Amino acid sequence: MALIVLSVVSIAALGLISGIGLGYAYQKFHVEEDPKVAKIQEALPGANCGACGFPGCRGFAEAVAAGKVDPTGCLLGGEEISKVVSAIMGLEHKEKDPISAFPLCNGGKANAAGKFEYQGVKNCKAAHLSGGGYKSCSYGCLGFGDCERICPVDAIHMSYDALPVVDILKCIACGKCIEGCPRMLFVLLPKKVKYHVDCASHDKGAVTRKVCKVGCIACSLCINACPVNAIDMVDNLAVINQGKCINCGDCFKVCPTNTIVKFDDRYQMTTKTSKVKEEALV
C-alpha cells in the first residue's frame, strides 16, 4: 500500500514539476503574434484555395503581416479584398489592370491532325509522355482537361472540340493552368485584350500547314499590316505586343489561317460550343 501511495505521489510531483517547467518556457520564449495577422485573415475569403502560393489563408496573412508578400496577393478576393488588406497594413492601394489566362491553341479535333490513336490514361501529362503526344503538332493541346481540373475557381471548361474555354469573368490569374499544362499552353494577359495569337507552334510554316488548319505559318502578313509595329515574329510564331497594340484589327483581317482571333468573338463562339456539348450530354 505504501508503495502505491509513493508511486502516486511521485507521478503527481513529476507532473507538477513538468507543468511549472512548461509554464516557464512558455513565458520565456513566447512570441507575441502581430495583431495584423488576425485582421488580415478575417478579411480574406477563407477559401484556402492556394492561388496566392500559400497552403491557406492563414499562411498568406502571416506573410503579408511580415512584409514578405504584396497585400494584393489574394487573387480570389480581387481588388476589394486587396484594398482592405492594404489598409490594414497602412499602405496605399494601387489598382492593377485585371488579367486572365488565355489559351494558346485552337487546334481541336476538327482542325488538328493526329499521328496515332491514344488509348492510355485520360490526362494530358500521360498523353504527352506517350510518344510525345498523339497529335501531329508537338505544341498542340491534348484536350484531356488537366487545366479544367486544376483550376481552383471553375473558370476553365473543355469545349466539344476538346479545347479549353476560359471564363475571364471567373479567372483570377492564379497561373495554376500554366503550371499544370505539360505543353504550357496558357499565358496571362490583360482582360481588355481584343486580338490574340491563338497558337504556340514554333515549327516552320510548311510543317504547321500540314498538321493544323489554324496554326501560325509565319507568313508575316500580320506584321506588314500592323500600323504601329506591335507584332514580331519570334521563332516562326507571330507575337503581339499588347502594350503597343491599338486594337485596330488589321492583323486579324489579313491572317490567312485565322490564327489571330478576336477575343470577344472567340469567347462567344467557344462558350456556345461548350453549351452544345452540355446539351448533348443531357
Residue 191 has pLDDT above 60, yes or no: yes
Higher pLDDT, 97 or 124: 124
> 137 and 160 in contact (C-beta within 8 Å)?
no
Mean confidence (pLDDT) of the chain: 82
Residue 269 has pLDDT above 50, yes or no: no
Confirm whether pTM is higher than 0.75: no
Environment class of residue 240 by beta-carbon count within 10 Å: exposed (0-12), middle (13-18) or buried (19+)? buried
**Structural domain boundaries of the chain?**
38-88, 99-275
Q: What percent of the chain has pLDDT over 70?
A: 83
Q: What topology does CATH give the domain 38-88?
A: 3-methyladenine DNA Glycosylase II; Chain A, domain 3 (1.10.15)
Q: What percent of the chain has pLDDT over 90?
A: 41
The CATH architecture of the domain made up of 99-275 is 2-Layer Sandwich (3.30)
Neighbours of 192 (CB within 10 A): 13
Question: Which residue pairs from 69-74 have beta carbons closer than 8 angstroms and sit at least 24 positions apart in sequence?
Answer: 72/96, 74/44, 74/45
Percentages (nearest 5) of helix, strand, coil residues in the chain = 40, 10, 50
C-alpha grid cell for residue 16? 507538477
DSSP 3-state assignment of 55? coil
Higher pLDDT, 192 or 1: 192
Mean pLDDT of 155-184: 91
Residue 219 has pLDDT above 70, yes or no: yes
Measured CA to CA, the distance from residue 143 to residue 108 in angstroms comes to 8
